[in-house]
Amino acid sequence: MSLEVQRCNDCSRRWFPIRLCCPGCGASAFRTEVVGRGRVEEVTTLPDGRVLASVMAEGEIPLVARLIGTVQSGDEVAITTDPTASGPSAYVPHGSLEEEKA
């Protein structure tokens, strides 16, 4: 499952997590797009073996992800919202609009 992000209808910039207004231009009308891949930047391993990372999606959207499979800094990987996906990939919990409204 691919990650859905916002694209501003006015200035075309993309955002995640979702915003109410576009920080770039102030408009509040967005469409939803999916992002497929991202470049892994910094990587950190936790004591239980989980690997968390900064991932830059399509050169524009910085994400916080858990890496699945053998992935190194600098790699291009698939971004998934499925925590059980096979590697190499970067898991980004999608959450829901309702949760963020809550």
Partner 1 sequence: MSAVALVGAGERPYTRHPADALSTPQVLLSAVRRALADAGLRNQDVDGLGVSSFTLEPDHAIDLAWRLGLRLKWLMQDTNGGASAISMLQHAVRAIEAGDATVVVLVAGDRMDARAFSKLVAQYNAATASHLTPLPMAGPNALFALLTQRQMKSWELSREDYGQLVVTQRAWARRNPGAVYRTPLTMTDYLAAPMVAEPLGRYDCVPPVTGADAVVVTADDTGRGNPRARIRAVTTRYNTDDQVGDGIRTGLADSAAELWHGAGVGPSDADVISVYDDYPAMAISQLVDLGIVSPGEIRHYLAEQVATGRAAINTSGGQLSAGQAGSAGGMHGLVEVVQQLRRRAGDRQVSGRIGLVSGYGMVLYRYGSCANAAVLEAAS
Q: What is the DSSP string of 19-49?
A: -SS-TTT----EEEEEE-EEEEEEEEE-TTS
CB neighbour class for 7 (10 Å; exposed up to 12, middle 13-18, buried from 19)? middle
Binding mask 19-48 for partner 1 (x = CB under 8 A): ----x-----------------xxxxxxx-
* Strand, coil or helix: 52: strand
Q: Which is nearer to partner 1, 44 or 72 (CB)?
A: 44
Q: Which of 11, 25, 26, 83: binder of partner 1 (CB under 8 A)? A: 83
Residue 65 parent element (H or E): strand 61-68
Binding mask 44-63 for partner 1 (x = CB under 8 A): xxxx--x-xxx------xx-
Binding site for partner 1 (CB under 8 A): 17, 23, 41-47, 50, 52-54, 61-62, 64-66, 83, 91-96, 99-102
